[in-house]
């Protein structure tokens, strides 16, 4: 359901030299699978995830979301498809600071055209399932780091995406809170049979996934 073939990506450094970050990276993810991508800092994990999510484009190679080759369609169509098809969870929560937790989670549904009442009802229900019923009307800054990431998980799952991409979703949390947040993410993905690609440097977390890829010197295996 997600397939990448021979992705290459380079960046220009400050001296104008081209630095190869990804070299012929290929990956195949089946429906419902949970995949871990590991690799040291700077190895290109975020770059790869951004390509898979259609946020950035490869220099060469192809990416398929189900039957759609997203490297062959306009960025506008990629954006539209991403909104309905995909959920993102980042290292830092990226919740909107001026909006309550409930509004942050409702937003993807409102963008998708749902009525405000229905969007709020569904968001309240999911936030309650994730243990955040006491945080609905709080702003992100009034919540703990773990609560903020759980809200980010709710926002990523609320529109029932086919695919979740998570970039070190617990990168800035202490170990206990990390495990708790991760448990929430993995449980949700398993229960809803949502395909998930997760970047992590934590071996214990990777071992709970169905398959582990390692990114090393631009090569994915």
- The answer to the question of residue 115 lying near ligand ADP (CB under 6 A) is no
- The answer to the question of residue 200 lying near Mg ion (CB under 5 A) is no
Lay out the site mask for ligand ADP across 16-35 (x = CB under 6 A, - = otherwise). Answer: -----x--------------
Q: Each residue of 114-123: b (16+ CB within 10 Å) or e? A: beeeebbebb
> Smaller CB distance to ligand ADP: residue 18 or 187?
18
Q: What span, in angstroms and rounded, lies between the C-alpha atoms of 27 and 43?
A: 16
Residue in this structure with the two tokens 């190869």, named with its chain if needed: 20
Beta bridge partners of 62: 5
| DSSP secondary structure, 12-42, as one string | E-TTS-EEEEEEEEEEEE-TT-EEEEE--TT
205 binds, among ligand ADP, Mg ion, none (CB under 5 to 8 A by kind): none
- The answer to the question of residue 170 lying near Mg ion (CB under 5 A) is no
Stretch that binds ligand ADP, among 41-49, 97-105, 109-117, 127-135 (CB under 6 A): 41-49
- The answer to the question of residue 46 lying near Mg ion (CB under 5 A) is yes
- The answer to the question of residue 146 lying near ligand ADP (CB under 6 A) is no
- The answer to the question of residue 11 lying near ligand ADP (CB under 6 A) is yes
Number of residues that bind Mg ion (CB under 5 A): 2
Instruction: Give all strands (DSSP E) within the chain, no chain letters.
Output: 2-12, 18-29, 34-38, 60-65, 68-69, 86-89, 163-167, 195-199, 211-216, 219-220
> Smaller CB distance to ligand ADP: residue 146 or 218?
218
Residues 61-100 that bind ligand ADP (CB under 6 A): none
Could you tell me whether strands 60-65 and 163-167 are parallel, antiparallel, or unpaired per DSSP bridges? unpaired
Lay out the site mask for ligand ADP across 43-62 (x = CB under 6 A, - = otherwise). Answer: xxxxx---------------
Name the residues that contact Mg ion, by CB under 5 A.
Answer: 45-46
């Amino acid at each position: 359901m997600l397939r990448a073939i021979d992705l290459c990506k380079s960046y220009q450094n400050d001296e104008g030299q081209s630095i190869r970050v990804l070299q012929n990276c290929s990956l195949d993810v089946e429906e419902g699978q949970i995949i871990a991508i590991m690799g040291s800092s700077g190895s290109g994990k975020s770059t790869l995830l951004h390509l898979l999510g259609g946020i950035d484009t490869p220099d060469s190679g192809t990416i398929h979301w189900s039957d759609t080759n997203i490297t062959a369609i306009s960025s506008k169509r990629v954006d539209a498809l991403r909104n309905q098809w995909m959920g993102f969870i980042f290292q830092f929560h990226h919740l909107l600071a001026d909006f309550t937790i409930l509004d942050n989670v409702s937003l993807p549904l409102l963008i998708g055209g749902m009525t405000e009442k229905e969007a709020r009802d569904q968001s309240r229900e999911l936030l309650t399932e994730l243990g955040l019923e006491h945080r609905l009307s709080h702003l992100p800054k009034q919540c703990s780091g773990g609560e903020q990431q759980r809200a980010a998980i709710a926002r990523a799952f609320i529109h029932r995406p086919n695919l979740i991409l998570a970039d070190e979703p617990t990168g800035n949390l202490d170990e206990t809170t990390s495990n708790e947040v991760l448990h929430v993410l993995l449980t949700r993905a398993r229960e809803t049979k949502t395909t998930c690609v997760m970047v992590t440097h934590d071996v214990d977390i990777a071992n709970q996934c169905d398959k582990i890829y390692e990114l090393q010197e631009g090569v994915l295996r």
